[in-house]
Chains A and B, each alone.
Chain A
Amino acid sequence: MSREETTLRVPFLLDMEYRYAVGQYGRRFFTELRDHARLMGARCPECERVYVPPRPVCGICYRELHEWVEVGPEGTIVGWTVVRLPFIDPMTGEQRPVPYGFAIIRLDGASTSLYHFLDETDERKIRVGQRVRAVFREKREGSLRDILHFRLLEE
């Protein structure tokens, strides 16, 4: 077989939009975030873990979660990076501008952690255990991006 024959390829372009319901626990969380710039978690009645994201059931105890508690807006960095590899942002289909700070953050009062952006891209200035604070957007519409990013706090 010639080289030309072996490299024949058929292209296929796909442009699909999906819409996901945020659910009952998500609705409560995102409504509080949008209307009051307030972050909420759900507490397990048995182990007392406070879950962010809030969810119907604690998977460890298998108990339903009905108690809501406020968490954050300050928290602590559990893990972090500065992303330098360009990749396609699934929310827009466009390449997300790099570099950007990215961290997993334990909000004060929560037992679990949340992924979000940092306002810092200098690797020498970020560390595990560092305190951060959520910066909310002026105009909020009820999604995780109502938090613009987390700001590193002076120590």
Chain B
Amino acid sequence: MPRRVAIIATGQTKHAARRLDVNIAELITEAVTRALQDADLTMRDIDAVLLGNMEPFEGFLFPELWAVEGWGGYMKPSVKFNTGGTVGTTTAIAAYYYVASGIYDTVMAIGFQKQSEGHTQTAITTVGDPIWERSVMAGAIGNFAVMATTYMHESGVTEEQAAKVAVKARRNACLNEYAHLQMPDITVEEVLRSEMLAYPVKRLDMCPQSDGAVAVIFAEESKAQKLCPRPAWIKAVATAHEQQYMGDSPKRLAEMRSLIAASRRAYQAAGITNPRKELDVAEIYEVASFAELAMYENLGFCERGEGGKLIDAGVTELTGELPVNPSGGVLSTNPIGATALIRVAEAALQIMGKAGRRQVEGARTALATGYGGNAWTDILILSREKP
């Protein structure tokens, strides 16, 4: 039987377009020291450290060496993860396995990216298969745009409904002291009028490129109870991978096969039959406004084709029935190697009651997702109750 595992502490940097004040090692150190302070631990109390990053973005190809002292790796067991958009959740799920297995008691997961130092669009193109995809790819934005038109065709969602997601994210971000894009006065009209990058995706429909790091500490049951007044227990984890090429999934965003498979597996493990009613908050990996609407449908928050209606009805607003991304989400903050782990950290903050002005009152069950590579999905369900 796996041991019970909880998140007991988190640390984030102030995320920004350019953190010119620090180098990569210092950026990581900022998040790590905050997580240690949060748990009132020192690095000596951490048994193993797992590091997540997408190296091609900055060409910082050996972070486990070049930043080792900052991330606390000296003489410790460690592994580096490099799985695209899911980096952060892969690292979190691995940390869960490390502790649940009984081999380590206290494990730190770290994610970071300093996108201002490299070439994000060009690096994302290298995600494509070199023989079949790169020569005709159009970066992350062109790729999302073709998925968005498929989804609009299948579900009937409008550009205006997608713009509402973009507005919700940037307004929620104003309540999050770590968020990168904070736009208190943003309007739907402003999103619709922003520069067309690739139809139907406009500049304000897309996530930014950010510099940032995050660290999350996982502990086994007795340590968690001793060290943390209200730990965020890991109730379920799940991972699912798509097929090889971007055109393999027949309906793309309209039927996100890996998100459906992983979420249903996690719901089952957590005993959840009606996610909209039984989840109190969700932190999902929505890299574009359209993707969030599609994810509502694929996560089972609503019926097929109802994603647009969910945002129209305000269900996913901070004050709604199921708040989605009270942190401001990926649309507000996207240091890629940290992004999915930020989802986990924010979900944990909600359970711990430490989410400040973005706190969802009485949150007891939270969902966190990672999504990336070629449509891979990671899911974690966190709970105030022990599993």
B70 lies within 8 A of chain A by Cβ: no
Q: Is the CB of A20 within 8 A of B199?
A: no
Instruction: Flag if B247 contacts A115 (CB, 8 Å).
Output: yes
CB interface residues, B 120-149, toward A, < 8 Å: 121-122, 125-126, 129-139, 141-142, 145-149
B residues within 8 A CB of A26? 131-132
A87 CA to B132 CA in the complex, in Å? 19
Expressed in whole angstroms, the Cα–Cα distance for A114 and B135 within the complex equals 12
Residue of A nearest to B199 (CB): A123
Task: Flag the segment in B5-13, B238-246, B330-338 that touches A.
Answer: B238-246
| CA gap between A115 and B247 in the complex, in Å | 7
Interface 9-mer from A32-40, A52-60, A66-74, A131-139:
A52-60
In the complex where A7-B20, A104-B246, A129-B153 touch, is A115 in contact with B133 (Cβ < 8 A)?
yes
Residues of A contacting B41 in the complex (Cβ-Cβ under 8 angstroms)? none
B145 touches A83 (CB 8 A): yes
Interface: B364 (CB within 8 A): no
B189-231 at interface with A (beta carbon < 8 Å): 195-201
- Determine whether B101 belongs to the interface, using a CB cutoff of 8 Å to chain A: no
Q: Tell me the chain A residues, 114-147 only, with Cβ under 8 Å from chain B.
A: 114-117, 123, 127-129, 143-145
Chain A residues with CB under 8 A of B142: 81, 83, 85, 102
Query: Is B139 touching A102 in the complex (CB atoms < 8 A)?
Result: no
Task: Identify which of A12, A88, A102, A145 gathers the most chain B CB atoms within 10 Å of its CB.
Answer: A102
Which one of A6, A78, A111 has the highest number of Cβ atoms from chain B below 10 Å of its Cβ? A78
The answer to whether A112 touches B245 (Cβ under 8 A) is: yes
What residue of chain B has the Cβ atom nearest to residue A88's Cβ? Answer: B122
Contacts of A14 in B (CB 8 A): 59
- Decide: B149 and A79 in contact? CB cutoff 8 A: yes
Pair B245/A144 contact, Cβ less than 8 Å: no
B354 at the interface (CB under 8 A from A): no
User: B144-163, CB under 8 A of A: which get 1 and which 0?
Assistant: 01111110010000000000
> How far apart sit A91 and B246, CA to CA, in the bound complex (Å)?
19
Contact present for A87 and B139 (CB under 8 Å): yes
- List, in ascending order, chain A residues with CB within 8 A of B185's CB: none
CB distance from B4 to the nearest CB of A (A): 34
What is the CA–CA distance of A92 and B332 in the complex, to the nearest angstrom? Answer: 32
**Sampled A-B contacts (28; CB under 8 Å):** A6-B21, A18-B130, A20-B130, A20-B131, A26-B132, A55-B244, A59-B244, A79-B150, A79-B252, A81-B198, A81-B201, A82-B199, A83-B138, A83-B141, A84-B195, A84-B197, A84-B199, A87-B121, A87-B138, A88-B119, A90-B122, A104-B252, A112-B247, A112-B248, A115-B136, A144-B132, A144-B136, A145-B136
Q: A79-B147, A84-B195, A106-B247 are in contact. List 6 more A-B contacts (CB 8 A).
A: A53-B245, A90-B137, A112-B243, A143-B135, A144-B132, A144-B135
Nearest first, the 6 closest Cβ-Cβ pairs linking A and B are A113-B247, A81-B145, A79-B150, A79-B146, A128-B153, A85-B197
